A and B are shown apart, each in its own frame.
Chain A
């Protein structure tokens, strides 16, 4: 089980995984030795699974981001698996999520501009198998994106 110190360490480290151990220890009110032992333990029990980078695709020329909310034709029992397998082949799809609710899946698609998006949509998205319905949400801006957990 995790205690308050573990949570404090994660709270400071989660958006800055490269923070120096001495600084982290100071912020979490402990010593670097204790802090690194706690972190190692949380890695061992799979609480900390690694770290990841967030790429800002706009800086690489991908100005358009669209959320596609997909409803699948569930008469095909393997619709989810088949759809996801095909969606993985499309490079411009940067996220695949499945849901319980009004929509079955959501795809995050990036494109250089609207012409490029239209091309991807027509040739790579609409051709994905077992789609019953698609709704599009176009991203205007990100107000908050750190995915921080309220620890």
Chain B
């Protein structure tokens, strides 16, 4: 576990709102020197607290009108290797995220598509043909909100 102090927390909170801020801009906002902020950012990144950075893109304007979450139950647990399923599902470009979960389903998938008929194509050709796939539940995403979390 990485120990972070209040200043680190403030930095993370500011970056959660807008990660494009430079260390100079962060330093200004926090009343610190730029090298001090830079050192903290480097530590937060090197230690993996900041796991990654990515662009926030307007999905709709890029032609991805639909995001669907799928709950997938494997049909023949024990006989199908989880590795085979995971390797195959990871390679599908429309699948943005895969989580192995415990509960009603075995896997949770985030899938993007241009529209509902494009989603149907992905579902039929890519998802239903995955090794070991059983019960599939689909929920269409209407809205989402990322919260800053306990910082």
Hey, which bits of chain A sit against chain B, CB under 8 A?
2, 10, 13-18, 45-57, 59-62, 67, 84, 88, 91-103, 106, 110, 135-151
| Residues in A whose Cβ lies below 8 Å from that of B12 | 53, 55
| A contact residues around B62 at 8 Å (CB) | 2, 10, 47, 149, 151
Q: Which residues of B contact A (CB under 8 A)?
A: 1-2, 4, 12, 15-16, 18-20, 47-59, 61-62, 64, 69, 71, 86, 89-90, 93-105, 107-108, 110, 112, 137-147, 149-151
- A40 to nearest B CB, angstroms? 13
How many angstroms from the CA of A139 to the CA of B105 in the assembled complex? 11
Question: What 15 additional pairs, Cβ within 8 angstroms, besides A2-B62, A54-B52, A55-B12?
Answer: A10-B57, A16-B53, A49-B56, A51-B53, A54-B50, A55-B16, A59-B2, A60-B1, A67-B101, A96-B145, A97-B145, A99-B142, A100-B139, A100-B142, A101-B138
Alpha-carbon distance A100/B141, docked complex (angstroms)? 6
Check A10–B55 contact: CB distance below 8 A.
Answer: yes
A50-B56, A56-B49 are known contacts. Are A137 and B105 too (CB-CB below 8 A)? Answer: yes
Q: Is the CB of A143 within 8 A of B139?
A: no
Partner of B103, one of A60, A93, A135, A142: A135
A14 to chain B, nearest CB (A): 5
Decide: A95 near B104, CB < 8 A? Known: A45-B61, A56-B51, A139-B99: no
CB–CB A52/B54 < 8 A: yes
B48 touches A143 (CB 8 A): no
Contact of A17 among B20, B86, B149 (CB under 8 A): B20
Is A137 a contact of B149 with CB atoms below 8 Å? no
